[in-house]
Amino acid sequence: AQSVTQPDIHITVSEGASLELRCNYSYGATPYLFWYVQSPGQGLQLLLKYFSGDTLVQGIKGFEAEFKRSQSSFNLRKPSVHWSDAAEYFCAVGAGTYKYIFGTGTRLKVLA
Amino acid sequence: DAGVTQSPTHLIKTRGQQVTLRCSPKSGHDTVSWYQQALGQGPQFIFQYYEEEERQRGNFPDRFSGHQFPNYSSELNVNALLLGDSALYLCASSPGRDPFYGYTFGSGTRLTVV
Give the per-residue pLDDT at A99. Answer: 84
Burial of A10 (0-12, 13-18, 19+ CB in 10 A): exposed
What are the mean pLDDT values of chain B's consecutive 10-residue runs (114 residues total)? 89 98 94 94 94 92 97 97 97 80 89 98
A41-62 per-position pLDDT tens digit: 788 999 999 988 889 999 999 9
How close does chain A come to B21, measured CA to CA in Å? 15
Element (H, E) at B7: strand B5-7
Residue B58 contacts A where some CB pair is shorter than 8 Å: yes
Give the per-residue pLDDT at A111. Answer: 96
Give the per-residue pLDDT at A81. Answer: 97
What are the mean pLDDT values of chain A's consecutive 10-residue runs (112 residues total)? 92 97 88 92 90 91 95 96 96 82 96 92
**Chain B residues lying within 8 Å of A44, measured CB to CB:** 43, 90, 92, 103, 105
Q: How many CB atoms lie within 10 A of CB B57?
A: 15
Give the per-residue pLDDT at A30. Answer: 76
Rounded to 10 degrees, what is the CA torsion of B85, B86, B91, B97? Answer: -30
Give the per-residue pLDDT at B1. Answer: 57
Say how far apart CA B55 and CA B39 lie, in whole Å.
Answer: 27
Q: Are B109 and B89 in contact (CB under 8 A)?
A: yes
Q: How far apart are the first and last CA of chain A?
A: 41
Element (H, E) at B23: strand B19-24
**Chain A residues lying within 8 Å of B107, measured CB to CB:** 41-43
Counting one residue from chain A and one from chain B, the pairs whose CB atoms sit within 8 A come to 59
